[in-house]
Structure 1
Amino acid sequence: MGAVSLRGVSKSFGVVDVIKDVSIDIAEGEFCVLIGPSGSGKSTLLRIIAGLETASDGEIHIGGRDVTDLEPKQRDIAMVFQSYALYPQMTVRENMSFALRLARRPKDEINQKIDQVAQVLGLEKLLDRLPKELSGGQRQRVAMGRAIVRNPAVFLFDEPLSNLDAKLRSQVRGEIRDLHHRLNTTSVYVTHDQVEAMTMGQKVVVLRDGRVEQAGTPLELYDLPDSIFVASFIGSPAINMMNATIDADGKSLALRDSQSRLPVPGNYSAFAGREVVVGIRPEYLEVVSHDTVDALPATVRAVETTGSDTTVICDSPVGQILVSSKSRSPLHMGEDIALRVADGKALLFDKQTERRLTPSA
């Protein structure tokens, strides 16, 4: 049993509150990603689950056991660190077997487990090498192997890929995902990289200033963010934000600092006259003729392409707007265009509370 449950967990360092009343349920076998900007408390929260930090308040349960006051070795967890944390004087085999040797497991059992895990991770030919003789990706696989041989109830990952280059990061990300599918062990993964969060997480928890801003599946956070913060933090290129007012009849949006109007994406008549922030993902904007009605006039500032993706950066009366697509763009700098929003694809947030408004049925 490896379900993880946090109930009202808080952590203070002196007068500074780092974690504030966090409650999270992670199902057995679930891959949960903790994400947030620097200083949001995600690594501290992971260390509290591991027992490396003591919670100032609240409870931590692992596999149905209250482990709040237990030492790390009593929690049945294994942690993979950003810095690998390998013993430099030990070979790969010795690093991977260290915990089993401490537990005085039989030598034959240790060798069998090491050989099995090394085969899974592609480390068979590296077992007699020292960490300094390995690449960054190989060291990270050794660190994962050391965790796997213990067969813990929960894996904890603290930004394990941040020291790797982009290509290797993508490769090891896939390896971790495949391992989770094979082992089905509950995993809690800390990252600041939203690509990792979106591609690996079954559940994603967005932290902000020590609190849970929103938790859900990657697509729930992307399509239905609860707040301006989540909408802005999740997604690349970043979501476009513009100030507006819902007209008195509830049928259109009057954009601030512009003569332009956009159609309301649903029944928001209950919020008529409300000041809002409109969020539009770059892929939901279509480039149309500059004289199109119910579209936002703009001028092309730049066109960026990666080969498979194109981003058009535009200047508009409401500020800079990004438009993204999978097709090549014939647009050029200085060209006058207009931008039309795909039906129902704008998100409306209350200007004061910054929370998403829900349209009436």
Structure 2
Amino acid sequence: MTSRRQFLAGLLATGLAPTPTWADAGSPQFVAAAALPDGSYVLCGIGAGDAIVFQIPLPARGHAAAAHPTRPEAVAFARRPGTFATVIDCASGLQKSTMTAPRGRHFYGHGAFSADGDWLLTTENDFEAGQGRIGVWDVRAGYTRAGEFASGGIGPHEIKRMGDSDIFVVANGGIDTHPDSGRTKLNIATMAPNLAYLHDGLVVETVALAPDMHKNSIRHLDVADGQVAFGMQWQGDGDPAVLAGLHRQGQPIVPLAASADHMRAMRGYVGSIAFSRAGDQVAVTSPVGGVTQVFDVATNALSHQIVAVDAGGVAARGAGFIISNGQGQLGQIAQGQLQLGARAPLAWDNHIVPVGA
């Protein structure tokens, strides 16, 4: 019997089908990369009730993904320092194309679409110059390379679009790497992380941490109502004073404060960060520390800490958050409590990406 996906693919080939939407891919609420027990890798769609509505093979380990704002299409990025990204038709389950980083570049595992979905921006490393770059890809032309511009710093990691605008914010982690040295960090003594705001190929604003925090690599981002939440990974000695913060353009950085004991529990590592749907809370995961912390935006202070072993991915869902771990579980954080579902035969990677965000 012909499957629904095969039927849709046939209609699309003849030009008779209506424009597909995310409903044609099972109405996923999120996409996330995962590893299977046999050592292969997939991109999954997560629907209502944590149902896995699709599971599509990837050629190698994925890190994060970018979900097209209207079409059932996702770009799965290789874990840094990867040089490929796979464009997937999530309705048919077919790979549409492969994006290959230009010579002298590698991806950092993240990308973001323009508001109209016609362009994709990717965080990249010009590893000979030791400078961050933003790759520009023409979606309408089949994800062909259209150009690049400066990221405003070194080691750009996550990039997000600011709401419905085409202003983007990028986390320049400040760490210089080179493929010949693998994931070795080459400039810890002089690293200088920042947040950079980008518009029309230009850096319109940068904001840096205080000098005594220059070894706090800004890595992960979320945005809500014009505000950016960012998570960091500490490269210095001892324990950092802070691992997350908030920022609005034109204003100073606001640290998200917690006690020394709570900072120690994170073990210097933020795996992912997310605003709640209402924008009044920020959740910060640490798969290394085995805890997730939830901060109150109004007070900029820790609200509660939850034991969450190997939890990496987090995103807003309902009044709380969805969370994923490397043991194949999805769960819900609500009212200060974590409820985990059954284990699936896969290991989730570090990020859960909302569809239609």
Same fold (TM over 0.5): no
* TM category, shorter: under 0.3
Structure number with greater Rg is: 1
Greater fraction of residues in helix? 1
TM-score, scaled relative to structure 1: 0.26
More relative contact order, 1 or 2 (CA 8 Å, 6+ apart): 1
Instruction: Decide which structure has greater strand share.
Output: 2
